[in-house]
Chain A
Amino acid sequence: MSSEAVLTARDLGISFGNLKAVDGISLDLKPGEIMGLVGPNGSGKTTLVNLVSGLYRPDRGEVRLGGRKVTGLAPHHLARLGLNRTFQVPKPFHTLTVRENVELAAFYTRQEPHTAEKALEFTELAPLADRLAGSLNVGQQKLLDLARALATGPRILLVDELGAGLGPMELDQVAAKLLELAGTGVALLVVEHLLAFLNQLTSRVLVMNAGTRIFEGKLAAAAEDPLVVEVFLGG
């Protein structure tokens, strides 16, 4: 099974001082697969995304892309190898236009120039292409994060709470977009608090608490797992 996985993480761990922020997480993602990553605030979801995307170097464990070991590589290397992400709080280049934001990503990951245009079309940001990124609202900035990630031609996309702060209509649109992406073979790891949103995307979730995995399997089964219920609702 792991031989066909496009992303494999094994026993990832990192500590900040005495805090084990992520403690022995493993996961596999196949092309076109969507996996949900859920857990209470502070459970280590974003830290895990940071470990996989190269922002943090793990204390232990390894990350492989299609069999190639990439643990500890800088994010710009990973971006060129087809792994990208969005940020919980969007991080556009404020003083550049929307188009420049996306074009730079395509240029520095050596994609065809039209990749940037396609990413703008896909995220429906094309009409805003000449606006300064700093002038967009938060929802639009989140889409710009997504567009910029897509302009790098990713095979694996880590989506960190794209839904937070979006309205119900936007959520449905974004969910449809992510499903469309997965349909083209992109593997997605989706960090999300909004379980209804996640439910539209996938049935497979990994539940974290205090840096460890407490459940992996169907979203529906997670809702009946006593440990998951205790962590989310209090015992």
Chain B
Amino acid sequence: MFRKPLDLGLVVLIPVLFALAPLAYNNQLLLFNAMVFLALAQGINIIYGFTGYLPFGYVGFFGAGAYGASLTVMFLHLPAPVAVLLGGLTALALGLVLSPLLRLSGVYFAIASLAASEAVYYVIANPGLVNITKGPYGVSLDRVYSPEFSYLVMAVIVGLVTAVVVYLKRSHLGLSLKAVRDDPLSSETAGIDVKRQRMLAWSWSALFAGLTGAVFAWQISVFYPGTVFDPSISIFAIVFTLFGGAGTVLGPILGTVVLYGVYNLIGITEPQYFQLIYGVLIMVLVLFLPEGIVSLLKRGGANVL
């Protein structure tokens, strides 16, 4: 599975660096959020980078994971790590329910997935469900609050999602997903079960968004539906992936580090300039660098993972 030292290096090094980073830099919440976006960017990479489906409603899985974990804590009184797992499974289940969306393609899929995430949001935020989801009033998980433990679990999830992307990059499965993206008909004649492969990518992608949302809920412990179903979470993660380069392991990592770094440098003090720069950046990327900044390295002759 890991054919080169670089593979294993990335999978281990990134979580370890994040785990140690708070010793050198005291804004742990910022580091945590960077991990959240890195995991989401890699999750989008799994579905978009390898199959071409662009899920604008990806945040729906994130929110489903956050609520799945929260309900587990509130009603089942299970320990937080178990709740995280169940949060991931909640998103996976939502992915299975939404799998008919995969019959759509291109912009139709993107919009339908956005609509689906909004639908889930409005169901959860519905005051009629206040006894279950607390409706619009948000949930509190103060009983399991543990910023250090949840931080470390998030680092592990970053390692896991990186491992999955490395595996896709190196395996027949990843290659077959790219084949399906290039041409579903001839993929079938090459013996590839197109529906099954798409479902696999979709499920992995949903699972990681759910796990990430669950740990996010655990970390911040008090949140509203609008916090975890905020469409800009999808947009950020998508832009990070596109900026770095979808379909590679390094692309989403570079994209998240660079853009989330820029966001924290100028986005908080001068939000209006940040949004302007962001908008221009997206247009420039789509027009001139559709394969992200790693494609510049490829042009330079480097063999990019």
- Residues in A with CB closer than 8 Å to B193 are 74, 76, 108
B190 touches A105 (CB 8 A): yes
- Which residue of the partner chain, among A54, A87, A104, A110, contacts B179 with CB atoms under 8 Å? A104
> How many of B's residues come within 8 Å of A, CB to CB?
18
A76-B194, A108-B172 given; A95·B189 CB < 8 A: no
**Number of contacts between A and B (CB, 8 Å)?**
79
Q: Per-residue CB proximity of A211-225 to B under 8 Å, as 1/0?
A: 000000000000000
B178 touches A75 (CB 8 A): no
A76 touches B182 (CB 8 A): no
Would you call B187 an interface residue if the criterion is a C-beta within 8 Å of the partner chain's C-beta atoms? yes
B188 touches A96 (CB 8 A): no
B interface majority secondary structure:
helix
CA distance A88 to B175 in the complex (A): 24
B186 touches A76 (CB 8 A): no
> How many of A's residues come within 8 Å of B, CB to CB?
30
B192 touches A104 (CB 8 A): yes
CA distance A109 to B186 in the complex (A): 13
Closest to A111 in B: B191
Would you call B270 an interface residue if the criterion is a C-beta within 8 Å of the partner chain's C-beta atoms? no
Would you call B284 an interface residue if the criterion is a C-beta within 8 Å of the partner chain's C-beta atoms? no
- Residues in B with CB closer than 8 Å to A152 are 189-191
Segment from A77-85, A169-177, A180-188, A200-208 that makes contact with B: A77-85
Q: Per-residue CB proximity of B188-218 to A under 8 Å, as 1/0?
A: 1111111000000000000000000000000
Closest to A133 in B: B182
Residues of B bordering A, CB below 8 Å: 172, 175-176, 178-179, 181-183, 185-194
The 3 closest A-B pairs by CB, nearest first: A108-B191, A109-B191, A75-B188
Residues of A bordering B, CB below 8 Å: 53-55, 74-76, 79-80, 84-85, 87, 91-96, 100-101, 104-105, 107-110, 145, 148-149, 151-152
